Amino acid sequence: MNDFDFFAGHWNVVNRRLVKPLSGSDEWDEFPGHSVATRHFAGAASFDEITFPTKGWNGLTVRVYNPGTRQWSIYWASSARGELDTRPMVGAFDGDRGVFYGDETVDGRPVRARFVWTRIDQDTARWEQAFAEAGTDDWETNWIMDFTRK
């Protein structure tokens, strides 16, 4: 249940986000971020807030561990949308890599979403988001965050 303990602390973040996911575009937007993460419930919950200073909005993530299923549920909210996405990404870690799946909507159509968390070492980590059209396994990575501990 302590999978996200490594993430507690202050981080500098380099973001690369695909401008138009699932459109065939290969145009990426790169921008900075600053994240502060905390652990709760003796490691069974994790919270972080990320600021995107050049974008003018913030995001926050709440992660909660279910000891019965041994899986995490991950929820996201952003100040740009002003709402909590109540459709969790659900999954687990296997060693230093965690994979989580859920449902998302892109341009009004349903898609599958995948998060991959990688603990590289105590001072670096990576998060990746990918989408796949419903009914396919053709994953397109559309957002990468490289974290370096402050």
Q: What CATH number does the domain containing 73 carry? A: 2.40.128.20
How confident is the model at residue 29, as a pLDDT?
97
Choose among 7, 68, 14: nearest CA to 40.
7
In this predicted structure, the answer to whether residue 31 has a pLDDT above a threshold of 90 is yes
| CA–CA separation, 137 and 129 (whole Å) | 14
Confirm whether 107 is domain-assigned.
yes
24 within a domain of the structure (yes/no) = no
Classified as helix, coil or strand, 6 is helix
**Is residue 134 scored above 90 in pLDDT?**
no
For the segment 49-70, the average pLDDT, to the nearest whole number, is 97
Whether residue 94 is contained in a domain is answered as yes
Count of the separate structural domains present in the chain: 1
- The candidate with the shortest Cα–Cα distance to 88, out of 58, 127, 62, is 62
In a domain, 114, yes or no: yes
Does residue 83 carry a pLDDT above 90? no
Look at 83 and 125; give whichever has higher pLDDT: 125
Average pLDDT of the segment spanning 122-136: 94
pTM comes to: 0.93
End-to-end Cα spacing for the chain: 25
**Which carries the bigger pLDDT value, residue 81 or residue 14?**
14
Domain of residue 78, residue span? 5-18+31-149
